[in-house]
Each structure stands twice: as C-alpha cells, then as structure tokens.
Chains A and B, each alone.
Chain A
Amino acid sequence: MHPVLKLVVQRVALGLLLLLAVSAVIFLGVEALPGDTAQAILGQQATPEALANLREQMGLDQPALTRYFQWLGGVVQGDLGTALTNKADIAQSIGQRLGNTLFLAGCAAAISVPLAILLGLIAARYAGRWPDKLISGVTLTTISLPEFVAAYFVIFLLTQVFPIFQPVAMVFPGMSFWAKLHAVALPVIVLVLVVLAHMMRMTRAAILNVMQSAYIETAELKGLTPMQVVWRHAFPNAIAPVVSVVMLNLAYLVVGVVVVEVVFGYNALGQYLVDHVTKRDVPVVQAVGLIFAAVYIFLNMAADVIAIVANPRLRHPK
C-alpha cells in the first residue's frame, strides 16, 4: 500500500475508534455520575414503587453496559431515542435544528477562512512592520474574549450605536435564502471575530515558519522572483499547516456556535442542547453531545488527513 494511503487509513481508523470511545464516555460517564433519571422525572416526593415502575418501564433496571449497546445500536441506525421532557423523537427534533446550526457555522466559515488566510498572509508579508502590528494587536484583544462577551460588544455597537441590525436572529422554514442571511448576519459577525483571531495568528506563524527555511533562501539566492519563490516553494509547504489550522479552528466553531446561538436566541442545535441540560433531559443531552463531539472529531481528523496528503515529503517514499 502507498505510504500516504496507509497513513490516511490509520488516521481515519483512529478517528472512528476515538468516536466509539467518546460515545462510551458520554453514555457510561453520565451513568457513573451520581444522579437518578427516574428521580429527576418524578421529583423528590416520588414513592419507591413509582420509581421502581418507571425504572422498569424505561429499561433503567438493565445493566448500564446492556443499555449502552442498545443505545449505540439505535444511534447507528439514526434512532436517538425519545426526550424525557416531552416524549418527542430526538432525531426528528434535531433534524431541522442541525440544518440551522450548519447554516450559521457555514456562513461564518465561508467568511472567516478566506479573510483569516488573507490577513495572515499580509501579516506574514509585513512581519514586524505596522500592518503586522495592527492586525496582531487587534486579534490579540479579541482572542482573550469569550464568545458571549464579544457578542454583546457587537450587539451594542451594531444595534445601539449604529442601529443596523436586530439583536435577535430568527430563522424559520420557508424563509428565503437572502432573508435567512440577513437574519444571521449579527451572529455570523460574532463567530467570525471569535475564530478569525486564532486562525489568522496560526496562519501567520505557519507561513513565517516556512519562509524562514533554508530552501526558501536557496530559491531566493538562485534568482527566482518573489512570486516564483512563494508559488513554487513556499505555498506547497505552507498549505498543509494552513489547512490544518483552518480545520482546527472550524472545530473551535463547534463550541462558539453553542454560546452564540443562546445569545441570539437562534433556534438551533446549541440552544437545544443548553435548554435540555437545564431541563436535565439526559437522552437529549447525550445525543446532541455525541453529534457535537462527532463533528469536532471529524474536523480534527480531516485536518490531519489533509496535512498528510498535502505533505510533499510523504509523496516520495524512500
């Protein structure tokens, strides 16, 4: 087998294994924590008989491991169980909301990725001079803010000081694409701000790192034009680190999106998760937690796979 392919297969297998382990942690970890689902539903005044009945009804009297495999079997077939609070089918409730979350995160990614790479290139090109200092200074400030704090600064600025937007983001089925875009403008701005800083700084570092290597100097010394140096020598070597930086930061969006959805009351997966943590609806929390974990693991895996494939050193086996 080609060594690149072998590495990719290994990485994907590791990702799947990790996902399996994470599903076990999410399910069995919650089981191991003190807390009783039946008690949580019926409240403190429940009689022992009622508790025992409910446990039997929900299958809670089965051993945890058995229930884990039943749950996992269901998840694999797209059956995420039913919510404790309203007996709704979880997979159905997730469907529409997942779409909304992906729409929000997708818009943020579509803006932040090119912008971050562009800013990173500018900062690396003028390293140590004023454009670099300006970009780095601004991003250093946004980097130390949590998402919701950044969100309220943006809300204050763009709904009060300059009243351009509405402070809530509502999307519903049947809205046109442009109307949806307008509705999510503010949350997208916040998410872009939050991921941009990390992404730009890491891009800048990756490019600077490549530009300092000996082969770049050799290329310059043998008389290539700056454009040729960048295109022939720097770019192929910088693409792997830059792409993995981008992927890692998209994974970071997964967390950002949860908080930003709550800030703007945007009806999507993150809001749904937080609501059901408050309601202590464990099956919903487990299902949504698993989805977020899966997306996160997938993006990390993609970052590594792209880094492997794009690495010119691996393409020519010794």
Chain B
Amino acid sequence: MRMPLSAIIGLVLTGAFLFVGLFAQFIAPYPIDSAVGGVWEGPSAAYWLGTDTIGRDIVSRLIYGAQVTIFVALASSILAFSLGSFLGFFAAVRGGWIDQTLSRIVDLVMAIPSLIVALVMLSVLPLNLTVLILVMGVLDSTRVFRLSRAVAMDITVMDYVEAAKLRGEKQGWIIFREILPNALSPLVAEFGLRFIFAVLFISTLSFLGLGIQPPLTDWGGMVKENKDGLIYGKAAALMPAMAIAALAISVNLVADWILSRTSSLKGGRGG
C-alpha cells in the first residue's frame, strides 16, 4: 500500500520534533534560562523569533521546551501503556473477581474528567517531573486498560490460546507470547493517540502553573509566560501554542494512517 502524503508529512514532522527534542543541548543557540537580549525584542538575525518577557531567546526556549514536553509525554504514555495493557490482559485472562475489581476501579476513575482528578491529586503531591509523569501515566492507563482488555477478550477465545492453556503454559507465557503479539497493532495506533493526549495534558497543566516548574520549561509553560506579549501584539508569543498544535497534528496524521491500516487488517479477519 502506498503511503498517503498526509502520513509522510506527519512522519517527517514528528521525526523533526523528536530530533530537536533529543539534541536540544546542541541545537539551541542560547542557554535556556539567561536573559540575552532586551525585553520583547522583535525577530532579528541573532534572535530569530525575538526575545520574551524577560529577554530570553524564544527559539532556544522552544527547543528546550520541546525536549521537556516530549520527554514527559513519552514517559507518561509509556507508563500508561505498560501498566494499562498488562492489567488489561491480566483482567481478560483471569476473568472473575480480578477482572471485576479492576474494571470497576477503572470505571470509577474514568467517571471524573482526568484534569479534575489530576488537579485534586496535585493539590497535595509535590510538583516535580516524577510526580507529573506518574499522575498522568496512571490516569491515562485507564483508557489503555479498557482497550487492551477488550482486544485481549477477543484473543483469549482463540484456539491458539486454548491450545497454550491445554499445553500447561503459565499465565505469563499466555500474556506475553500469545496475546501481546496479536494485540500489538491496535495498541500501536492507540499509542500515538495517547501520546498526543499526554502532550496536551502536560501542556494544559503547565499552562495552569501546575506542571513543569522553572528553571525547566515546556511549551504549555511558555504560553503562560508569554501571554502578556500577545496583548502587546507580539506574534512570537503565539509560537509555543503553534508548536503544541503542530506536534499534536503531526502525530495525529501518523496515528490516523496506522489506524486505517490496522482496521483494514482487522476487517480482513472478519471484525
């Protein structure tokens, strides 16, 4: 199948964002937290997007912001995936009260919007990277749980799983060797969507002042810092918001493409 143009654009942009995030220290022309110019300088050869509210180079901060945003989002979605899919598979394989208990807990957490749960939790927890990643990862794992449980439910009734059970394989084998490889493709597409969700989530928290704390910065925090600039008519203040939108849209394009491929595979299997 030929790759659609939208997926190529999405992949290239996502790759570019990852590259910038990974090598931020080498790419950024100025240090993250030092005032190098005047306040709200316009774009120039030295500062491509100008300087911010206390004279820091906006381009450099965007580059460092990419690193933090992508790292936190990636870490929390990996956590959400490991936790959610393992428990989801486990619930599907074991069934009975284990499944019931886990499913009801997940129902309960999902009965309240994640942002509200996160705000309640962050009112007592210390604000640092580990706590943010844990809170976001655990909250988001509920969605992964539902998906992977549903997928695994379809797989556990397959003959090859039955055969493995009759061979006397242990639960670990059944989860990791029988279910996981067969559940991988829908989960991969879901990973893209969860990653976007995590980017938007951490940006929102930082924007509210409850996410990444200085001296580190992320794009959501930069929107917050620069919001006054917008009122003075500085278009550069819009850049962090643009970056969030661009990352979200490019990962979305890739995820859409994977999703359309896996759903056509699923169709081939008869549903």
Contact = CB atoms under 8 A, between A and B. Distances in A.
Interface of A: 18, 21-22, 25-26, 29-30, 33-35, 40, 141, 144-149, 152-153, 155-156, 159-160, 167, 251-252, 254-255, 258-259, 262-263, 273-274, 276-278, 280-282, 285-286, 289, 292-293, 296-297, 300
A152 B223 contact: yes
Contact of A149 (B108, B119, B241): B241
B216 to A, nearest CB: 18
Nearest to B203: A146
Interface of A is mostly: helix
Contact of B230 (A21, A144, A155, A282): A155
A22 B111 contact: yes
A277 B210 contact: yes
A263 B126 CA distance: 24
Interface residues of B, number: 41
Top 3 nearest A-B pairs (CB, nearest first) are A35-B124, A285-B123, A146-B200
Interface in B96-121: 107-109, 111-117, 119-121
Contacts of A273: 119
A282 B204 contact: no
Interface in B225-248: 227, 230-231, 233, 235, 237-238, 241, 244-245, 248
Nearest to B235: A156
Given A276-B123, A282-B123, A289-B116, 14 more contacts: A18-B107, A25-B108, A34-B124, A141-B249, A149-B223, A252-B113, A259-B207, A277-B119, A277-B123, A277-B210, A285-B119, A289-B112, A292-B112, A292-B116
A40 B126 CA distance: 11
B124 A144 contact: no
A144 B6 CA distance: 15
B35 interface: no
B15 interface: no
Contacts, number: 132
A141 B253 CA distance: 11
A274 B211 CA distance: 12
A29 B207 CA distance: 25
Contacts of A30: 120-121, 123-124
Contact of B112 (A159, A167, A293): A293
B16 interface: no
B119 A274 contact: yes
A63 to B, nearest CB: 18
B204 A147 contact: yes
Contacts of B119: 258, 273-274, 277, 285, 289
Nearest to A25: B108
B121 A29 contact: yes
B210 A274 contact: yes
B241 A296 contact: no
Contacts of B125: 33-35
Interface in B32-78: none
B204 A146 contact: yes
B208 interface: yes
29 contacts: A21-B108, A21-B111, A22-B112, A25-B109, A25-B112, A144-B196, A144-B245, A148-B203, A148-B204, A148-B207, A149-B241, A152-B223, A152-B237, A152-B238, A254-B113, A255-B115, A255-B116, A262-B207, A274-B208, A274-B209, A277-B119, A277-B210, A278-B209, A281-B123, A285-B119, A293-B111, A296-B112, A297-B111, A300-B111
B82 to A, nearest CB: 22
Nearest to B243: A149
B235 A149 contact: no
A264 B271 CA distance: 47
Interface string B182-223: 000000000000001000100110011110000000001001
A252 B249 CA distance: 20
A148 B210 CA distance: 14
Interface string B109-153: 101111111011111111000000000000000000000000000
A129 to B, nearest CB: 20
A146 B248 CA distance: 9
Contacts of B203: 146, 148-149
B252 interface: yes
